[in-house]
């Protein structure tokens, strides 16, 4: 089963956890600064409702910013794992996937924002989209295609996987859900990167 192989690969590539931790720290700082200038505190959770156009815009901006960092962490993990890069090399080569990570982050941010007021279902939908984007980034890394050209393949691979490795697909989906939990995602995002790369 590839989901068990992915666990072993994560243990052998523990640098991915450090890379995601660095991205998480940078993301927290940037999000905090943007939140400060928007006047809404230090996190998306500080926005309780959309009771004004300004609140709507603030929540949308923060949703997109946060998810861009999520997708950057996922992309850098995929590339670092696939190409055997060290920590410094992973960041120095980030121009190779930065635009793809931004596009994927905007897409996920919009989905997260739209479904943020639907309890449980919202996170399930966002996690499903994250899984499709993980496949898309993995295909981009393997083929050299831009993510705009790999998204169709990335999302269409999911029903195909159900027929020959449904358990790995389910495990990947669960880890995508867990990736929306702060701190926990430092460990789950690298696993999502490895397993999605192995399944494409």
Q: How many CA atoms lie within 13 A of 171 on its CB side?
A: 18
Tokens of 76: 């850098």
The Cα–Cα gap between 27 and 23 comes to 6
Length of the chain in terms of residues written: 200
Provide the number of structural domains found in the chain: 1
Range of the domain at 23: 2-199
The pLDDT assigned to 71 comes to 98
Please tell me what DSSP assigns to residue 42: S
Q: What is the pLDDT of residue 55?
A: 76
pLDDT in tens, 57-112: 888 999 999 999 999 999 999 999 999 999 999 999 999 999 999 999 999 999 99
Region of residue 118 (phi > 0: left; psi between -120 and 50: alpha; otherwise: beta): beta
**CA–CA gap between residue 121 and residue 198 (Å, rounded):** 28
Alpha carbon 174 to chain centroid distance? 13
If pLDDT is split at 50, 70 and 90, which confidence band does 40 have? low
Question: What pLDDT is stored for residue 42 in this prediction?
Answer: 42
Q: Mean pLDDT, to the nearest integer, of 174-198? A: 96
Per-residue pLDDT at 127 = 97
Count of CA atoms in the C-beta half-sphere (13 A) of 164: 6
Q: Which residue has the higher pLDDT, 55 or 32?
A: 32
Nearest-10 crossing angle of helices 147-178, 121-143: 130
Q: What is the pLDDT of residue 51?
A: 57
Closest CA to 135 of 184, 93, 198, 178: 198
pTM of the model: 0.91
The pLDDT of residue 43 is above 50: no
Tens digits of residue pLDDT in 118-169: 888 999 999 999 999 999 999 999 999 999 999 999 999 999 898 888 999 9
The Cα angle at residue 108 between residues 107 and 109, in degrees rounded to 5 = 90
User: Predicted confidence band at 9 (pLDDT cuts at 50, 70, 90)?
Assistant: very high
């Amino acid at each position: 089963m590839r989901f068990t192989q992915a666990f072993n690969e994560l243990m052998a590539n523990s640098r991915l956890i450090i890379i995601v931790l660095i991205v998480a720290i940078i993301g927290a700082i940037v999000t905090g600064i943007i939140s400060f200038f928007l006047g809404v505190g230090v996190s998306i959770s500080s926005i309780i409702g959309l009771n004004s156009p300004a609140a709507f815009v603030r929540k949308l901006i923060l949703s997109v910013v946060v998810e861009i960092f999520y997708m950057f962490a996922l992309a850098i993990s995929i590339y670092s794992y696939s190409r055997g890069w060290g920590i410094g090399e992973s960041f120095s080569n980030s121009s190779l996937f930065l635009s793809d990570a931004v596009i994927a982050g905007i897409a996920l941010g919009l989905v997260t924002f739209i479904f943020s007021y639907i309890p449980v279902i919202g996170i399930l939908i966002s996690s499903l989209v994250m899984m499709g984007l993980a496949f898309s980034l993995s295909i981009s890394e393997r083929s050299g295609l831009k993510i705009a050209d790999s998204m169709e393949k990335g999302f269409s691979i999911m029903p195909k996987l159900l027929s020959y490795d449904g358990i790995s697909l389910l495990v990947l989906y669960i880890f995508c859900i867990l990736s929306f939990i702060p701190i926990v995602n430092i460990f789950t995002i690298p696993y999502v990167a490895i397993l999605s790369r192995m399944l494409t």
